């Protein structure tokens, strides 16, 4: 089995968890954060890598482990943003090439959608396209090469399966080892614990991998740092799925973009536009 050897390090100092107009309150109530837990950064148990422990930055709401996976109904308080037969030109389904079930899972309130389309269900290669809805029409704003899990994609992600979860998930929080990039509007949690060391499966350095990250709201508490260890649906469903800086090959479940591209993404995402990521292999997204 191919596995990455990514290990967290750092002193735990130098935190800045405030986003624009957003404060994160530290509290002893609720969950205890026991380790840095990005699925992309979890070292194999056989590797014996040690992880730095820290307290959770508590607060916020909870996301589902299987949030809006294609084939499931959209939340009751939302209507589809696209995907019905006979839609006018400029619908999300037409613009992004999504299938009816996938498009129907995108909340009607969303005006920014990052579509990550994997080459194949067993491939780590993908393309990311950022769509924005303006004046009732969806248009592609940016297109970037991307990578996903080493073993590809799955509609039923499990911890350690080296596959990225297929589905539609909100993008609520960001962070990283480096200072908040200019123009970032999502809450940004700067922390020295966003560090991975060692090398990937392909022998590439992991230095700088977590300089910038955007948390995918898969099986996590929302409104807290991406480092938060909470797993509302249980540890078996995995978690810590992030968009982060590419290291040249497949991940343990995250999606990666080049450094300059993820900085552009951070500058583009706006919480007022309810950004979501639609992610999966091409066949799954066409359903």
Q: Report the pLDDT value the prediction gives residue 40, as an integer from 0 to 100.
A: 57
Which region holds residue 253: left if phi is over 0, alpha if psi is between -120 and 50, else beta?
left
CA distances from 14 to 36, 53, 178, 213 (A): 16, 15, 10, 17
Q: Report the pLDDT value the prediction gives residue 147, as an integer from 0 to 100.
A: 98
The catalytic position among 40, 189, 247, 254 is 254
Query: Which residues in the chain come in under a pLDDT of 70?
Result: 1-89
Q: Report the pLDDT value the prediction gives residue 63, as an integer from 0 to 100.
A: 65
The Cα 22–Cα 186 span in angstroms is 9
The catalytic position among 157, 244, 247, 261 is 244
CA distances from 137 to 81, 91, 95, 127, 160 (A): 11, 6, 9, 22, 39
CB 163 within 8 A of CB 122: no
Q: Report the pLDDT value the prediction gives residue 53, as an integer from 0 to 100.
A: 29
244 is catalytic: yes
Q: Report the pLDDT value the prediction gives residue 198, as an integer from 0 to 100.
A: 83
Q: Report the pLDDT value the prediction gives residue 212, as an integer from 0 to 100.
A: 98
Q: How do residues 228-252 score in pLDDT, each as one tens digit?
A: 999 999 999 999 999 999 999 999 9
Determine how many CB atoms are found less than 10 A away from the CB of residue 250: 27
Partners of 215 in the β-ladder:
242
Name the residue ranges covered by the structural domains of the chain: 39-73+97-285
């Amino acid at each position: 089995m191919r596995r990455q050897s990514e290990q967290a390090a750092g002193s735990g100092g130098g935190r800045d968890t405030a986003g624009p107009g957003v404060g994160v309150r530290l509290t002893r109530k609720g969950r205890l954060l026991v380790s840095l837990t990005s699925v992309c950064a979890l070292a194999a148990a056989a590797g014996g890598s040690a992880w730095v422990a820290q307290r959770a930055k508590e607060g916020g709401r909870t996301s589902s482990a299987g949030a809006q996976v294609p084939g499931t109904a959209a939340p009751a308080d939302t209507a589809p943003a696209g995907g019905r037969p006979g839609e006018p030109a400029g619908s999300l389904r037409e613009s992004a090439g999504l299938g009816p079930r996938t498009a129907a899972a995108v909340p009607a309130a969303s005006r920014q959608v990052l579509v990550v389309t994997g080459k194949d269900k067993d491939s780590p290669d993908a393309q990311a396209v950022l769509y924005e809805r303006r004046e009732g029409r969806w248009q592609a704003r940016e297109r970037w090469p991307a990578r996903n899990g080493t073993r590809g994609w799955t509609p039923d992600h499990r911890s350690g399966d080296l596959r990225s979860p297929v589905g539609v998930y909100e993008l609520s929080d960001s962070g990283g080892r480096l200072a908040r990039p200019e123009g970032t509007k999502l809450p940004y949690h700067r922390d020295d614990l966003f560090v991975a060391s060692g090398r990937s499966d392909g022998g590439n350095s992991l230095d700088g991998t977590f300089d910038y990250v955007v948390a995918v709201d898969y099986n996590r508490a929302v409104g807290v740092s991406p480092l938060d260890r909470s797993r509302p649906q249980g540890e078996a469903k995995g978690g810590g799925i992030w968009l982060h800086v590419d290291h040249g090959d497949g991940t343990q479940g995250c999606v990666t973009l080049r450094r300059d591209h993820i900085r552009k993404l951070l500058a583009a995402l706006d919480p007022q536009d309810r950004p979501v990521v639609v992610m999966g292999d091409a066949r799954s997204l066409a359903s």
